[in-house]
């Protein structure tokens, strides 16, 4: 049996059409809005140790499902006569039950299907708030670790060296 994974499956256009910052980008470029979403999901998934999948509708295209990897995120464009919702539903039912799945969407019917299939659901707003909290918490953690490393280095330097460094800082031209 493989390792247990936690998947975050994102209903791409549902999120883009809900978040103000993405709607602003969408007003001038669909591609840029998709890229911005994928970038944000990539950062969040890395912090949370999730395997992330962002699914976009491509219902009216003439191709099969298109999948690509972008910055560690699986990006899926649903195939001909398939919606993002139906792709997510199939993903849920095909996945080994040992894995956890959270689907981010504000689509009520999709949320109900996810819960009935044993997954967790998160609305677009909940995802946005959770991402903001996680990213800001991670930045604080990195800052604290950086300060701790700097203080550790300072404590390991002897007093004479510290005094010499202080003189250099005050007057760098002094020999």
| Nearest in space to 87 (alpha carbons), one of 106, 116, 112, 64 | 64
Strand order of the β-sheet with 6-11 is: 66-70, 73-77, 51-56, 6-11, 100-104, 120-122
Q: Which CATH architecture has domain 6-130?
A: 3-Layer(aba) Sandwich (3.40)
Q: Could you say which DSSP state residue 95 is in?
A: S
How much of the chain, in percent, has pLDDT values that exceed 70? 79
Cα 103 versus chain centre, distance: 13
Contact (Cβ atoms closer than 8 angstroms) between residue 57 and residue 147: no
Tens digits of residue pLDDT in 77-133? 988 788 899 899 999 888 877 889 999 999 999 999 999 888 999 999 999 999 888
Position 3 confidence tier, pLDDT thresholds 50, 70, 90: confident
- The pLDDT tens digits for 133-144 are 887 776 666 666
pTM, two decimals, is 0.76
6-21: b or e for each residue (b if 16 or more CB lie within 10 Å)?
ebbbbbbbbbbebbee
Q: What pLDDT score was predicted for residue 1?
A: 47
Return the domain boundaries, the chain: 6-130
DSSP letter, residue 49 = T
Q: Say if residue 2 is exposed, middle or buried (CB neighbours under 10 Å; 0-12, 13-18, 19+).
A: exposed
């Amino acid at each position: 049996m493989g390792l247990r994974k936690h998947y975050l499956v994102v209903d791409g256009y549902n999120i883009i059409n809900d978040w103000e910052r993405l709607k602003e980008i969408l007003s001038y470029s669909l591609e840029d809005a998709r890229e911005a979403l994928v970038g944000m999901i990539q950062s969040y998934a890395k912090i949370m140790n999730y395997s992330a999948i962002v699914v976009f509708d491509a219902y009216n295209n003439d191709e099969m499902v298109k999948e690509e990897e972008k910055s560690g995120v699986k990006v899926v464009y649903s195939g001909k006569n398939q919606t993002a919702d139906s792709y997510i539903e199939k993903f849920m039912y095909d996945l080994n039950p040992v894995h956890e799945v959270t689907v981010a969407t504000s689509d009520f019917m999709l949320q109900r299907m996810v819960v009935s299939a044993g997954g967790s659901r998160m609305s677009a707003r909940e995802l946005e708030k959770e991402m903001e909290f996680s990213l800001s918490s991670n930045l604080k953690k990195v800052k604290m670790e950086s300060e701790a490393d700097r203080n550790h280095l300072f404590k390991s330097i002897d007093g004479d060296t510290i005094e010499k460094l202080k003189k250099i800082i005050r007057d760098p031209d002094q020999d």
